[in-house]
Structure 1
Amino acid sequence: MESWIISFLDYFSKQLAIYLGTVMLLAGLVGGFLTIVVFLSLHTFRNSSCAFYLLVMSIFNIGNLLGGLLTRIVITGLGIDWTISSQFYCAFRWYYLYSGVLTSFTMICFATIDQYFATCTRPRWQRWSNIKLARWLSFAVIITWPILATPYMLYFKVIEQSPSGKLVCTSVNKMFYQYHTYVYIITLSGTVPIVVTLIFGYLAYRNVQTLAHRTLPLVRRELDKQMTKMVLVQVVHNGFASIPYVIVIAIMNSSSAPTDPVSVAKLQFFLLLTIYFYYFNYVSPFYIYLGASERFRHQLFYVLLEIHLKRWRRRQTAVGQIDQQLYTHA
């Protein structure tokens, strides 16, 4: 009976990886690419500090999907574990995920804080929301997290787990493993982003309620409302996507964690479910923006149809005219 349950959970885990994981990966890559295209194509977004944070976040979200979710699909769905076949990849994957995940979450925290400052009634605080500061802060974060991730290249190695003899990619330093679990996973990529974004998201929401009574330019007012709405919906979504994973990780590393094979298999299966749920942090932003903001939907269609499609048609027409001239003169 126990072996049947374990085999069923293992089979279902593979199917989830192949089908759900693949759909999430493709949707996340397409959504991330379209978000980048929209933010880079419109002058309104290029001059918005909040949009700049979301742009950087979208770039790193794509990297997190390729470095994290793709590997998860290959390991669970296809049974090919790159992390135990290569010492370098074992360490580098966690090095990259530490840098990429924390950069992504830092950007959404900055975007939420930025919208709080942008919607404040005090001009002195509004000055903290500016594109120059956003660029410098983003550059500092992109440099800082990879430096702090250096211990992953030193301590994460492929070792043989006793007594099973199974190869695993894990930290050979117990203190660093505790840091990896409780500081990186539970705190920096779990609790802290949720708390920070919820607090400043709520404050930004309160500020937005008073925008209609202020003497602000219409374009600025509509942009602030749009960006705040997009960020707030993402903040709430990220909280629901992250909390289950943090809880399961905390249970698995607690002293009361189950040890019998069936309970361990069930807990591993729930962990896998929460991991996929966690990856929605990187899959869903584009679709959140589409659903939350009618203005973003219009901007997307304008960018794709009015800017890039017409530009491509003009280029094709020009190439056709050159070819026709060459053919005529020949």
Structure 2
Amino acid sequence: MIGNILNISIFTSLKIFRQTSAAFYMTVTSSVNIFQLVVGLLSRIMITGYNIDPTKTSSFICKARQFTLITTMLIAFTCMCFAVIDQYLSLTNSWRHFCTVKIASRLVIIAFVVWFLHGITIFLYVDLDLSLGNNQTSCSVINAGYSIYYSRFLFPILLGFLPLIIRIIFGLLAFVNVRRLKKHQTPIVRLEHDKQLTTMVLVEVTVDVLITLPYIIYNHIYSNSVTFYDPISNAQDQLIIAVTRIIFYGNFAIAFYIYFCVSSRFRKQLVYVFVEIHLKRWRERTHRNGTNQIVPQTSDIVQKTDDVN
């Protein structure tokens, strides 16, 4: 969560990022990731670690949690795809005019509307399941048709392979275009900026592949096709599911640390933002407040002196 806040601070503080559509997508992604971690990861820790699960007792919490989790995931992955596609287009002369913050903001609004409308189905088909017996309930899909869509398309495709494939393809294309720019007389500032963003998104894609595939393959392909009758095997299965699920949340938490590790330019920008911008503003504000406090005290002293005279 701290990493996402730092990303937002850097991308909104520097003019070079504020004017870059790819950075705009990355800013939106970081903002959405905060909601994902607050609602998703923290509630998962409470459920798995402390056996506190309000989704089993409240229909509204059950629906709201699933809606927030899935909708924010879809928006985040969509913006990640937009960012890497935008970076490729910005390096192509014939398509560069599409890479503006104005167009990016419109696409983000469309993504929000589409996935919020998609989330209505969650409120319709996800609810408390009372079929377990022994007064036990679970928050799950209660419609057979939607269950097929949920387990065979939503998670493995929309939240799994599709965004990864899109990001890998356009990330590699962007990398090729950056190498071509070196052979042309491209302004140094622009070349360094393009290299920075391309490296950041490409390494992020690589890491996301490594932390997403285990979750998708085991939880939504293997585990759903195998029935465990042995209690020990079932316990091992639940442990693997829990571990891969926690690792999967890295998609929404580690972007800043990837950028920090792979880009020396990003590290310098981080220092500049917090030392030259935020720290300087804080010092100016503190100095201004201190000056405002001293002036009345001086006036009081002058007034008292006049009274004595």
What TM-score results when the alignment is normalised by the length of structure 2? 0.94
Q: Who is 2:120 aligned against?
A: 150
Counterpart CA distance in 2 for 1:298 and 1:92 is 40
Q: Who is 1:119 aligned against?
A: 91
Which letter does structure 2 place at the counterpart of 1:297?
R
**Superposition pairs of residues 134-283 of structure 1, within 5 angstroms:** 134-163=104-133, 165-249=135-219, 250-254=221-225, 256-283=226-253
Counterpart CA distance in 1 for 2:132 and 2:9 is 49
Which letter does structure 1 place at the counterpart of 2:4?
G
Q: Select the residue among 109, 115, 122 that pairs with 2:81.
A: 109
- Identity over the aligned pairs, expressed in percent? 38
Tell me which structure has the larger Cα radius of gyration. 2
Counterpart CA distance in 2 for 1:96 and 1:77 is 21
Contact 2:215 2:245 in 1 (8 A): yes
Structure 1 gap ranges (5+): 1-28
Q: Who is 2:303 aligned against?
A: none
Pairwise CA distance, 1:97: 1.2
Q: Deviations over 1:21-48 (max 9, x none)?
A: xxxxxxxx11010100000000000000
Pairwise CA distance, 1:165: 4.4
1:284 aligned to 2:240? no
Q: Select the residue among 60, 63, 79 that pairs with 1:91.
A: 63
Counterpart CA distance in 2 for 1:248 and 1:231 is 26
Please report the RMSD computed on the Cα atoms of aligned residues, expressed in angstroms. Answer: 1.2
1:208–1:164 Cα change, 3 Å = farther
Counterpart CA distance in 2 for 1:87 and 1:36 is 34
1:252–1:163 Cα change, 3 Å = farther
Contact 2:57 2:137 in 1 (8 A): no
Which letter does structure 2 place at the counterpart of 1:98?
I
Pairwise CA distance, 1:299: 0.3
Q: Deviations over 1:42-63 (max 9, x none)?
A: 0000000110010000001111
Q: Deviations over 1:173-231 (max 9, x none)?
A: 11112211122111101010111111111111111111111222222111111000000
SS in 2 for 1:310: helix
Q: Select the residue among 54, 58, 61 that pairs with 1:82.
A: 54
SS in 2 for 1:124: coil
What TM-score results when the alignment is normalised by the length of structure 1? 0.88
Contact 2:88 2:174 in 1 (8 A): yes
Contact 1:94 1:152 in 2 (8 A): yes
Q: Judge which range, 258-267 or 104-113, deviates more.
A: 258-267
Counterpart CA distance in 2 for 1:260 and 1:133 is 55
SS in 2 for 1:230: helix
Pairwise CA distance, 1:164: 5.4
Q: What is the count of residue pairs matched by the alignment?
A: 299
Counterpart CA distance in 1 for 2:160 and 2:134 is 31
Q: Deviations over 1:246-272 (max 9, x none)?
A: 011211211x33233221211111010
Counterpart CA distance in 2 for 1:85 and 1:329 is 64
Structure 2 gap ranges (5+): 301-309
Q: Who is 1:4 aligned against?
A: none
Q: Who is 2:41 aligned against?
A: 69
